[in-house]
Amino acid sequence: MSKIVFFDIDGTLLDHDKNLPASTKEAITLLKENGVFVAIATGRAPFMFENLRKELDIDSFVSFNGQYVVFENEPIYKNPLNSQKIEELYFKAKEKGHPVVFMNHMTMKASVKHHAYIEESLGGLKFAHPDHDDAFYVDRDLYQTLLFCEEGVEDFYRETYPDFTLIRWHPYSVDILPAGGSKAEGIKKMIERLGFKPEDVYAFGDGLNDFEMLKAAGTGVAMGNAVPELKEHANLVTRDVDDDGIWYGLKELKLI
Catalytic residues: 8
Half-sphere exposure of 31 (CA within 13 A, CB side): 27
Beta-strand ranges (E) seen in the chain are 3-7, 36-41, 61-63, 68-71, 74-78, 100-103, 108-110, 144-148, 164-170, 173-178, 201-205, 219-222, 236-237
Start-to-end CA span in the chain (Å): 14
Half-sphere exposure of 28 (CA within 13 A, CB side): 21
Cα–Cα distance measured from residue 201 to residue 3, given in angstroms and rounded to the nearest whole number: 6
Question: Are the C-beta atoms of 172 and 147 separated by less than 8 Å?
Answer: no
User: Which pairing describes strands 68-71 and 74-78: parallel, antiparallel, or unpaired?
Assistant: antiparallel
Question: Are the C-beta atoms of 245 and 238 separated by less than 8 Å?
Answer: yes
What's the CA angle centered on 65, arms 208 and 15, to 5 degrees? 60
Cα–Cα distance measured from residue 127 to residue 70, given in angstroms and rounded to the nearest whole number: 23
The residues that bridge with 29 in the sheet, in sequence order, are none
